[in-house]
Structure 1
């Protein structure tokens, strides 16, 4: 059964942990193991990215598998086309994330009462996204924009919530830079989910890394 949460609840969950896993893999057994250790580590919002040829099939299985985790919210990232967004929404995605600002995705999301998180790289894009109804902005690519971009945007649109993705590192120094700038949360992918750990199924090491990141974020906020 697909779990339904309001946009406010999803954004609250994102802010509560401060870190959203950004993950993709073509092996369902790996995906299930990663989902397990993320949940055990304290993650409650999980982004599966649409980067594999079988991504929709994998995501559909993950939605069903995640039914055991009643308070976990699954969404999909790397979405560009409205038709693709609709397929993932029908499969159970509770939010859609795009690397770009695509108004047509906003229409699909709002028609389905789904949270829409567009990627923005300029103040104009952020402003237009908020006018289209986005409650959270993905600052992408984060490694090029940097925390100074977040500060600049919030200096003129202080109420906007921003999540940088791309280039966010699992270190206290890097995370401090982002959270000092006022981010709502951060998205973390390859910097956290190292290929060698996945290939060797070193899930305990990955779990330790996730817990470390969440601990750092919590300490920075306190």
Structure 2
């Protein structure tokens, strides 16, 4: 898929939900609720022993949403990048700046988002072809780091992930700092509620977060 299309969709949305679960049916219900709430970019994270099997089936299930981009996160190895790409991942995200994965993705034309915690890493990521960089861990680095990065690399787009909270005060500090989007996982998904089947509660929660973000981006 064209990188600019992916980048535009991520920035336009302002929110990338990060979700993982070993149960495929639960993951399908979460994806449905997220889509119904307005999400068009979704990251499934590679953190369970059966993550590949779940993702592969989830990607086929997501075919009913032609405007949804479903990518894979927590990728450390080229071998994992290869197999998830083969399974149809629209983009690949890492928690770190991993040169081999960046090189692989660049050689295959894959949209790659590395996780960076220093100006050096952000610069390396940009140099290796990434148009979107994940600031991680966000709660450790903080919005001031975003401002510092953009003061010296103003033409890069940044996504904050890790400890970003779905409330107006927290989100305002990030977007005021110049962030283009945020990734939210545990702050967005209450696993106990989901395992009880409260998907309408999740839909409402995501809708509120999206509304806050869209208002902050005006």
Class of the TM-score when normalised by the shorter of the 2 chains? over 0.9
Whether 1:201 and 2:197 are equivalent positions in the alignment is yes
Task: Measure, in 1, the Cα distance between the counterparts of 2:31 and 2:108.
Answer: 25
> Residue 91 of structure 2 contacts residue 112 of structure 2 at CA under 8 Å; is this kept in 1?
yes
> Residue 106 of structure 2 contacts residue 128 of structure 2 at CA under 8 Å; is this kept in 1?
no
Whether 1:146 and 2:139 are equivalent positions in the alignment is no
Residue equivalent to 1:58 = 54
Task: Measure, in 2, the Cα distance between the counterparts of 1:195 and 1:94.
Answer: 25
Tell me the TM-score normalized by structure 2. Answer: 0.98
Q: What SS does the corresponding residue of 2:53 show, helix, strand or coil?
A: helix
Residue equivalent to 1:8 = 4
Which of 156, 160, 164 is the equivalent residue of 1:164? Answer: 160
Q: What SS does the corresponding residue of 2:146 show, helix, strand or coil?
A: helix
Residue equivalent to 1:39 = 35
Task: Measure, in 2, the Cα distance between the counterparts of 1:33 and 1:61.
Answer: 13
Task: Measure, in 1, the Cα distance between the counterparts of 2:152 and 2:104.
Answer: 29
Report the CA distance between 1:44 and its aligned residue. Answer: 0.6
Task: Measure, in 2, the Cα distance between the counterparts of 1:130 and 1:106.
Answer: 10
Whether 1:221 and 2:217 are equivalent positions in the alignment is yes
Residue equivalent to 2:128 = 132
Task: Measure, in 2, the Cα distance between the counterparts of 1:162 and 1:195.
Answer: 27
Report the CA distance between 1:112 and its aligned residue. Answer: 2.1
Tell me the TM-score normalized by structure 1. Answer: 0.97
What's the RMSD between the two structures over aligned residues? 0.7
Q: What SS does the corresponding residue of 2:48 show, helix, strand or coil?
A: coil
Which of 3, 17, 22 is the equivalent residue of 1:26? Answer: 22
Structure 2 runs not aligned, ≥5 long: none
Residue equivalent to 2:114 = 118
Question: 1:89-108, aligned counterparts within 5 Å?
Answer: 89-108=85-104
Number of matched residues?
218
> Residue 26 of structure 2 contacts residue 195 of structure 2 at CA under 8 Å; is this kept in 1?
no
Q: What SS does the corresponding residue of 2:17 show, helix, strand or coil?
A: strand
The Cα offsets for residues 52-75 of structure 1, whole Å up to 9 and x where unpaired, read as 100000000011000100101111
Task: Measure, in 2, the Cα distance between the counterparts of 1:193 and 1:141.
Answer: 18
Q: What SS does the corresponding residue of 1:191 show, helix, strand or coil?
A: coil
